[in-house]
Amino acid sequence: MKERIAIIEGLRTPFCRASAVFKDTGADDLGAFVVKELLARTSFPVNEIDEVIFGNVAQPYDAANIARVIALKAGLPTSLIAHTVQRNCASGMQSITAAANELWADEARVIVAGGAESMSQIPLIYSPKMARFFFQLAKAKNIVEKIKTFMTFRPSFLKPIIGLEQGLTDPICNLIMGLTAEKLSREFRISRKEQDAFALLSHQKAATAQSDNVLKHEIIPVFTPPAYTTVQEKDDGVRADQSLEALGKLKPYFDRVTGSVTIGNSCPVSDGAAAVILMKESTAKEKGLKPLGYLKAYSYAALDGSRMGLGPVYATAKLLQKTGLTMKDFDLIELNEAFAAQVLACEKAFASKEFAQKYLGQSEAVGELKMDLLNVNGGAIAIGHPVGATGTRLVITLLNELRRRNQNIGLATLCVGGGQGASLALEVE
């Protein structure tokens, strides 16, 4: 077994609904706020950091290699290397496991890792027809040619391609993420009512956590550029007054006629960032630091993209085999709530011997997913899911909650668009 990776401290911004408070704040800005604050709160000597690794899905056009932009905006030295990783929804975990690999290989001693996403700022794209029109116009040599080119213009050229929608669509199976959830709801026979009930619970748990100030330690206040008219202190998607009745009124969003997945029982698109400081356990000891927790092991697994929501089952099965842990060993579990249907499908798949035999090539079920240990402070349905940042949030939230409960071992897992899953085994002591 490899040495554990110490997670010294972790922080995040509030997660906020897209096109709202953070609409003018880039993913790089959000990332920089967190890194800056992380270094200030830990008083960590900047010159001891070897690299910055950030996960990001949408790759903003004005911040190529966003990890480097984040590092410099946060005030880290220009001599610091940085790179960006992308594994869709697991990008914020990928940065942590990529860092772990470098640490294990002794390629670095201290790494700041995290995830940042602004789903507000995913651009609209000109259609190929419009692009062609611009190109012809630029090429036109004289006024006659220019007029001729103008004549080819049709209003339909102006219809933009919505970058966000494209990003959330699997180009292989051609399904938008919501439809993969619809598929699981049918396969595992998860009713609309069950989905809504799960969504309600997520809001209730998150609202309780907010009113109990449970998340205060991990969230930094963000002063919102450009005019700084507000200070955002908490996740703004949580509805304390959410009700089954209100959820029930919503129309299915992805399959409007026969579907059951609504915007109420799915996670909203959001903006946010999170970051952690990582080093080997031995390095932390050497420095006399008291880590928030440890990464013990991780696994990624892949599956059919149209059933991507089951990713956690596949990845966790792999993780258990690798570590010899069983589902009973986990004191707490964070399983990302992309869709209520998807989480409930996972619950069934985890417990199913048949599923294990058919898809995982193992004779016994992976193990029971105890719902009372799952996402105890609410999940993405309430909190939001800035895709590149969520992975890091799950790790931070899980470790903080284990500490609070004086418990030790946790599982952080999520499903990944395109058909993958990620699972991390985390420990506090």
Partner 1 sequence: MSHAFNLQIIRGIGRLIFDLPGEKVNKFTGEVVEELEKLIDSLKNNTEIKILVIESAKKNIFIAGADIKEIVAIKKQSIAEKLAKRGQDVFNKLEDLPFPTVAVIDGACLGGGTEFSLACTFRVATDNDKVAIGLPEVNLGILPGWGGTQRLPKLIGLTKSLSIILTGKPFDGRKAYALKVVDALIPQEFKEEKLAQFLETIANDSEREKIFKRRKLKGLLEIALEKNPLGRAFLFYKAKKDVWKKTKGVYPAPLKIVELLQESFASPLHEGLKKERDFFSHLAITDISKNLIQLFFIGEALKKDAGEKEKIEPKPIYSAGVLGAGIMGGGIGWAFSNAHIPIRMKDIALEPLRKAYATTAGIYQKAGEHKPVPKNEIRIKMHKLSSTLDYTGFRQHDIVIEAIIEDMEIKKQAFRELENNVRENTIIASNTSTLSIHEMSSVLKNPDRFIGMHFFNPVNRMPLVEIIPGKNTSGQTIATTIALARRLKKTPLVVKDSPGFLVNRILIPYMIEATLMAQEGIDIERIDAIMEGFGMPMGPFILADEIGLDVCYKVCRILAGRLNLDTHHIELLKLMIEKQKLLGKKSGAGFYIHNSKEKYFNKDVVKLVHEVQESYNISPLQIRDKDILDRMVFRLINESGQCLEEAIIERPYYLDMALVMGTGFPPFRGGILRYVDSLGIESVMHTFHYLHERYGERFKPCMLLEDMKRNNRKFYEEAQ
Given a contact cutoff of 8 angstroms between Cβ atoms, the answer to whether 18 and 119 are in contact is yes
In angstroms, give the least distance from the CB of 60 to partner 1: 12
Given a contact cutoff of 8 angstroms between Cβ atoms, the answer to whether 272 and 14 are in contact is yes
In angstroms, give the least distance from the CB of 63 to partner 1: 9
Apex CA 332: angle with CA 14 and CA 204, to 5°? 50
Measured from the CB atom, the residue of 20 and 140 that comes closer to partner 1 is 20
Measured from the CB atom, the residue of 7 and 74 that comes closer to partner 1 is 74
- Verify binding: residue 75, partner 1, rule CB under 8 A: yes
Q: Is 83 a catalytic residue?
A: no
Sequential DSSP letters for 250-292: SPPSSSTTT----SSSBPPPEEEEEEEEEEEHHHHHHTT---S
In angstroms, give the least distance from the CB of 238 to partner 1: 19
- Based on its alpha-carbon atoms, the radius of gyration of the chain, rounded to whole angstroms, reads 22
Please tell me which residue in 16, 83, 89, 173 is annotated as part of the active site.
89
Q: Is 415 a catalytic residue?
A: yes
Which residues in the 10-29 window bind partner 1 by CB under 8 A? 29
Measured from the CB atom, the residue of 45 and 248 that comes closer to partner 1 is 45
Beta pairing partners, 298? 424
Select the span of 36-44, 117-125, 190-198, 199-207 touching partner 1 (CB under 8 A): 36-44
- Verify binding: residue 73, partner 1, rule CB under 8 A: yes
Q: State CA 181 to chain mean position distance.
A: 17
- Verify binding: residue 37, partner 1, rule CB under 8 A: yes
Rounded to whole angstroms, the Cα distance separating 53 from 51 reads 7
In angstroms, give the least distance from the CB of 359 to partner 1: 47
Select the span of 70-78, 134-142, 146-154, 302-310 touching partner 1 (CB under 8 A): 70-78
Which residues in the 198-237 window bind partner 1 by CB under 8 A? 221, 223, 225-231, 233
Residue linked to tokens 């966000």:
164
User: Who contacts 320 (Cβ-Cβ below 8 Å, separation ≥6)?
Assistant: 326, 327, 366, 367
- Verify binding: residue 40, partner 1, rule CB under 8 A: yes
Rounded to whole angstroms, the Cα distance separating 328 from 32 reads 38
Both tokens assigned to 326: 């069983």
Q: Is 217 a catalytic residue?
A: no
- How many residues at the interface with partner 1, by CB under 8 A? 21
Beta pairing partners, 116? 273
Measured from the CB atom, the residue of 31 and 272 that comes closer to partner 1 is 31
List the one residue from 12, 17, 36, 87 that touches partner 1 (CB under 8 A).
36
> For 20, phi and psi rounded to 5 degrees?
-125, -120
Q: Which of 390, 392, 398 is nearest to 428 (CA)?
A: 398
- Verify binding: residue 143, partner 1, rule CB under 8 A: no
Residue ranges in contact with partner 1 by CB under 8 A:
29, 32, 36-37, 39-41, 43, 73-75, 221, 223, 225-231, 233
* Residues catalogued as catalytic: 89, 385, 415
